[in-house]
Amino acid sequence: MSSFPQIRMRRLRRTEALRALVRETQVETGDLIYPLFVVEGSQIKQEITSMPGIYRYSSDLLPGEVDDIAKLGIPAVILFGIPEKKDEVGSSAYDPEGVIQQAIRTIKKATPELLVVTDVCLCEYTSHGHCGVVVDGYVDNDKTLELLAKTALSHAEAGADVVAPSDMMDGRVKAIRQALDKNGFQDTPILAYAAKYASAFYGPFREAAESAPQFGDRRSYQMDPPNWREALREVEQDIAEGADMVMVKPALPYLDVIRKVRDTFNYPLAAYSVSGEYAMVKAAAQQGWLDEKRIVLETLTAIKRAGADIIITYYARDAARWLSSI
Ligand code: PBG
């Protein structure tokens, strides 16, 4: 085995051309999904306090936004709805005229080539803010499945390209797959939030989506952060139930989980760089404490290096601009 001085690791780092030649991981705009928050009403563009630069839009403003997103080369958006009316069973989640169903139709009309992924969950639509039906203070798994399936089906009927259940009920991928297949949507893929942790990093999102639980927390259905073996079982289950793509969420604090899933399963893998990850970087950048562009590109590269094929990020629009000017 030869070593120094025959081997000099620095030889291939000397110029940018050499570094580019041996670069192992490349983030591309085509890997990114941009989240959009949609509210009812018109002419609303409302900044989210804990996520500067991220807004809630009413549907009438979406055509301009999605046109810009598509022009940047971002292939997909993921939609979150904030309904006017919430109730115990999240009725507006599966209302054919609901905020998301209308948004899907608006976007598909404006930019048919842009993929529309929908978040399938009840927490933004329930008065108690939990992701399912509450019975005696506990989120009832099996009663929730039918409502999730109805929600996913209503998204597909409105024109969604991909449905993404994020509720963490057991059996929801199977319930959604059956509902889609029975109604002629056998070609609509499911991106399962398979390993979704009960994370404090969702804080800013809950402000954005007005979806904080009104009592208790989500730890009886989302995963316990210390567990990675369990993440592999979650992914295995979702694949067995018919998931086409799987997700790990959050991203940056869970790179080890992303790597494990990548090494264990041959399915397209998404990572969700969540609201708290965005807020941390944005806050430090606004203070002048970090170089925002470099931090974001380094972070996205790390998520990809860990094994993610797809990254959902609030920085997608900035990243697309930065990547095209490198
Ligand atoms: C809905 C949902 C949440 C996020 C995505 N889908 C919130 C939660 O589970 O509490 C979080 C996204 C983010 O923080 O950016 N269940």
CA distance 159 to 177: 16
CA distance 181 to 156: 11
Q: Interhelix angle for 141-158 vs 172-182, to 10°? A: 40
Q: Which residue in 264, 205, 277 sits closest to 238, CA to CA?
A: 264
The string of DSSP codes covering 277-319 is: HHHHHHHHHHTTSS-HHHHHHHHHHHHHHTT-SEEEETTHHHH
Is beta strand 76-82 parallel, antiparallel or unpaired with respect to 115-120? parallel
User: Which residues have C-beta atoms less than 6 Å from ligand 1?
Assistant: 119, 121, 123, 131, 166, 202, 205-206, 211, 218, 274-275
CA distance 70 to 2: 51
Q: pLDDT (tens digit, 0 to 9) for every residue of the chain, 326 residues total?
A: 799 999 999 999 999 999 999 999 999 999 999 999 999 999 999 999 999 999 999 999 999 999 999 999 999 999 999 999 999 999 999 999 999 999 999 999 999 999 999 999 999 999 999 999 999 999 999 999 999 999 999 999 999 999 999 999 999 999 999 999 999 999 999 999 999 999 999 999 998 888 999 999 999 999 999 999 999 999 999 999 999 999 999 999 999 999 999 999 999 999 999 999 999 999 999 999 999 999 999 999 999 999 999 999 999 999 999 999 86
Helix, strand or coil, per DSSP, at residue 163:
strand
Residue among 121, 130, 172 whose CB has most ligand 1 atoms within 8 A, to mutate = 121
**pLDDT value of position 326:** 66
Active site residue 293: no
**pLDDT value of position 1:** 76
Which ranges constitute the DSSP H helices of the chain? 16-21, 62-71, 99-110, 141-158, 172-182, 203-209, 229-241, 255-264, 275-286, 292-305, 316-324
**pLDDT value of position 257:** 98
Query: Residue 303 C-alpha to ligand 1 middle, in angstroms?
Result: 18
Helix, strand or coil, per DSSP, at residue 162:
strand
Fold of 25-324: TIM Barrel (3.20.20)
Active site residue 182: no
From 249, 260, 282, 304, the catalytic residue: 249
pTM over cut 0.95: yes
